[in-house]
A and B are shown apart, each in its own frame.
Chain A
Amino acid sequence: MRKFYFIMMLALFSLVVFSCHKEKKPQEQIQKTIPQKDTAEVEIFYLVPSPDDIFGFASSPDLYFDPSLPNPVANAGKYNNTRLQDLNFGVYSADLAYSAAFGKREETKMYLDVVKSLSEKIGLSEVFNESLVNRINNIGSNKDSLIAISNDTYFDIIRYLEKYDRISTLAILAAGGWLETMYLVVNLTHYTPSNPTIQKIADQKIIFSNLYKFLQQNITDPNVKYVYDEYSKLNEIFNDFELVKTGNQQDKSKVKGKIIVGSNVKIVMNKQQFIKLRNVINDIRADFTLNK
């Protein structure tokens, strides 16, 4: 009888292993149904770039690494509810991207560790598999590899949350990451109309708009609702930015075979709007990170 159960267990195990391999291919199903409606259902995805993607403008000459700006790792222990943990997971992901963008090895390692530790609290520890942990433990000081590990970690987290349909968590995490990125940039930059970083901050109106709609889409979640309500203050500021029609002025001969977009309208932010934006970002960030 023991032999029978042993063989049955082996058979069952083989069945599961083989079916798991099969599932690695994308799912496809074809069902036959009676058509019920003529109009197509529409689903909208609002995409938000990662802090790493936004820190593309770390190359701006007036930006530098200020160790006093990122959220201290010691604060991680204070985040004792899901909303704070999700938000600050995003905040620390941005601090990680900031450290990596400026090639700060020790800080990058420190923020990777805090992101990993928070991931356990919010059920994302599976993302930190053996391969990623080994990469973190053997992290070098090359700036490109620091950026790559920061980028890959965020990418894996997004894919994991999408895979398990944790869209509210994703929205809060993206909101936290975007806020910290903006916090760092607005506190490193001084306003002059010709400063390219100021233009990049103004351009965040478009990314923010997507983020705001993404939060709105998931507003039934009370934690998302809280963040959405806070962000409505930022929405008011961004809505006041002027849109200036520029016409098609670009030299298209330089970009043969490529499609030029966004050539008609430029977003303009004045000094008062910049100061107001910075103040509101600082207030919301203090609330989210408990740095009051």
Chain B
Amino acid sequence: MKKIFWLVSIILFLTKISYSQLSCSNFLSNRKAEPPYKMSSMSKSAVSISGHVYKYEVPLSADKEYRLMFFASPAFNNNIHFKVIDKNATSDPSDDKVILDLPGENPKTQNARGTAALAPFEDKDGHEFHPYFDIIPAHATSLEIIIDVKQPPAQKDEYGNTYTEVIKGCVAVVILEKPSESF
């Protein structure tokens, strides 16, 4: 019995270690697309750390329409800056065009500690929606999504030493797509 106990303990301990290494995949798998949209395989969630900048290079096809949504762990308290640049297929930076420039914090959500990252909006019937951005490529192009996870302001402890909180959580870029109708 003693041997079995130690064997089971070791197995359970190893199981526990593997579970502790869980990344942010659940943060994405909980999101579902509603027809006519389907979830693009390019949707991505990643472990993100305050004070870091994450760039997502997203190729877009001309025969599709895309819907972009952003989600972040409540721990970041919406203190994230989102910027989306149309790279326009050229390597010339003068052709780049900023199409979205969104500070995560805003009066409606800054104290909510929700997963919205951006303020939700209501339709005319009062239904609340997670904010999304519809993108239509006229020609194939590439978007650069820049997610700047801001460092919280430095604080002082009881002895007067300065410290900064390092926050680790998940940020997800959800990309939905459907066949193009517009062009």
Contact = CB atoms under 8 A, between A and B. Distances in A.
Contacts of A200: 61-63
B136 A35 contact: no
A35 B99 contact: no
B12 to A, nearest CB: 5
A41 B53 contact: yes
Contacts of A50: 41
Nearest to A13: B12
Contacts of A282: none
Contact of A30 (B21, B44, B167, B175): B167
Given A12-B8, A27-B168, A206-B89, A250 B138 contact: yes
Contacts of A86: none
A230 to B, nearest CB: 20
B74 to A, nearest CB: 7
Contact of B148 (A13, A40, A206, A209): A40
Contact of A26 (B5, B26, B53, B182): B26
A243 B168 contact: no
A31 B21 CA distance: 18
Contact of A45 (B19, B55, B182): B55
Interface of A: 1-2, 5-6, 8-9, 12-13, 16, 19-20, 23-35, 40-50, 52-54, 56-57, 59, 151, 154-155, 158-160, 162-165, 199-200, 203, 205-207, 209-210, 213, 243, 246, 249-250, 254-255, 257-267
Given A19-B16, A206-B140, 6 more contacts: A29-B169, A42-B53, A46-B57, A162-B44, A203-B139, A210-B57
